[in-house]
Chain A
Amino acid sequence: MKTDELIRAMSADDIKEKPVRNVLPIALAGAAATAGLAFYATMGIRPDLMAALSQFPVLFKLTFPIMMAVAAFGAVVQLTRPGARLDGWGLALLIAPAVVAASFWATALGTPLSGWASAITGDSVGVCMLFIPLIGTPILFATLFALRRGASTRPRLTGLMAGLLSGSASAAVYAPYCTDDSPMFWGVWYVLAIGVVAVSGALLGPRLLRW
């Protein structure tokens, strides 16, 4: 087939794919809702959730993953557009880490050094490190498959950002269950658990986002 002939066939094809920014929210919400329902059906929400919401550290614990997810969403959509810049999303990515770091140090500096170890360890490291990556796995796959509609020219970075998005969404789903409210706990373990999902995304990106 000559190139001109191929061009003629292509220009007759007027069906356009849906853009990533329309498809990704559906995939993300679907996977997060399914995984969240399964999790809460077996584990249950913490009984004192309403009371806990009045405490600042709990509020931050519940909202920093959402802030992180919003920024990662914006960044990952840009990354699926060839030649596009991150624009403000690069800076937006720094907001949630700043909130976490500030919460961690504000608490740590008010805690005697001898109390640091128990504050960081909390009661539920194992559960947290198990369930955030576990809930994050279906979300990550749903995200990556939605991103295949895009055209990432940097699949590893895009995968990393997809993992950051999925891990943060997972942490947001998990947080209302968790009773470890000290920023010295979630400032370490949530961040690590989200990091595990982010690195998984970076490893999967080059395989799943080829086009």
Chain B
Amino acid sequence: MKSANGPPLDDLLRAANHGDQRAYASFLAAVAPIVRGIARSRGSGLGPDACEDIVQETLLAIHQKRHTWRDDAPVRPWLYAIVRYKVVDAFRARGRRVHVQIDDLADVLPAETAVDLTERSDAERVIAKLDPRSARIVRAIGLEGASIAELAVTLEMTETAVRVALHRGLKKLAAMREGMI
């Protein structure tokens, strides 16, 4: 199966798991519209901001659990099971019950245009609660496109320490969103 246009999701995630960061970014970028489509179709009364928060929450969950995919299995059953679980969970956390069938996910119309959640997103509120160094690293890489190597120089840390801080920061981000909404 193909993502909208471009290599199949399976190939992207397989390459990503072997260390190809660009393939991983493409994978997440291809998954986002699918999640957004299902979030909007279920959460019409919720508003686009909250839907985008759900998209981000689900992407963070996919990121945290990417090691649970086996290279030799098709990626979509795995992906859809995660999306279904997290979307239902995210709506439940906001006091709504939604039903998502795996078949709906295969048919959902991908929603490409993201809402610009610059200041008001849940992610932003949660990043503010990280330790300052992790928060700075997550922001610098995400917003300014800084590289690990550059940050290591600026922050006078080893590259390994930067990588670990980024990893822990994202992990905390996923965990805190689980608890705060």
Residues of chain A whose beta carbon lies under 8 Å from any beta carbon of chain B: 1-20, 80-84, 149-151, 153, 210-211
Contacts and interface: CB of A to CB of B under 8 A. Distances in A.
Nearest to B140: A9
A15 B19 CA distance: 10
Contacts of B22: 11
Q: Which 9 A/B pairs are nearest by Cβ-Cβ distance? A: A83-B77, A82-B81, A83-B81, A9-B142, A5-B142, A11-B25, A151-B65, A15-B167, A1-B123
Contacts of B163: 13-15
A3 B60 CA distance: 10
A3 B59 contact: yes
Contacts of B60: 6, 10
B59 to A, nearest CB: 7
Contacts of B148: 12
A13 B29 contact: no
Interface of B: 16-17, 19, 21-22, 24-25, 28-29, 32, 52, 55-56, 59-61, 63-70, 73, 76-82, 84-85, 114, 116-118, 121, 123-124, 127, 138-139, 141-143, 145, 147-148, 163-164, 166-167, 170, 178
A211 B114 CA distance: 25
A211 B63 CA distance: 12
Nearest to A20: B68
A9 B81 contact: no
Contact of A83 (B16, B21, B80, B166): B80
Given A10-B60, A10-B63, 17 more contacts: A1-B118, A2-B114, A3-B56, A6-B59, A8-B142, A11-B22, A11-B24, A11-B28, A13-B166, A13-B167, A13-B170, A82-B82, A83-B79, A84-B70, A149-B67, A153-B82, A211-B65
B21 A12 contact: yes
A153 to B, nearest CB: 4
A10 B170 contact: yes
Contacts of B170: 9-10, 13
Contact of B29 (A7, A15, A82, A83): A7
B68 A2 contact: no
A11 B59 CA distance: 11
Given A12-B21, A15-B167, A2 B116 contact: yes
A4 B114 contact: yes
Contacts of B70: 81, 84
Contacts of A13: 63, 163, 166-167, 170
Nearest to B27: A11
B28 A14 contact: no
Nearest to B164: A15
B25 A82 contact: no
Contacts of A9: 138, 141-142, 166, 170
Contacts of A80: 68
Nearest to B35: A3
A136 B7 CA distance: 48
Nearest to B65: A151
Contact of A12 (B64, B82, B114, B166): B166
Contact of A84 (B16, B55, B73, B84): B73
Contact of A19 (B68, B81, B127): B68
Nearest to A9: B142
B68 A82 contact: yes
Contacts of A211: 61, 64-65, 178
A7 B59 contact: yes
Given A13-B166, A82-B78, A7 B116 contact: no
30 contacts: A1-B117, A2-B114, A2-B117, A3-B32, A3-B56, A6-B123, A7-B28, A8-B141, A9-B138, A9-B170, A10-B60, A11-B22, A11-B24, A13-B63, A15-B164, A16-B17, A17-B67, A19-B68, A20-B68, A80-B68, A81-B73, A82-B65, A82-B81, A82-B85, A151-B65, A151-B68, A153-B82, A153-B85, A211-B65, A211-B178
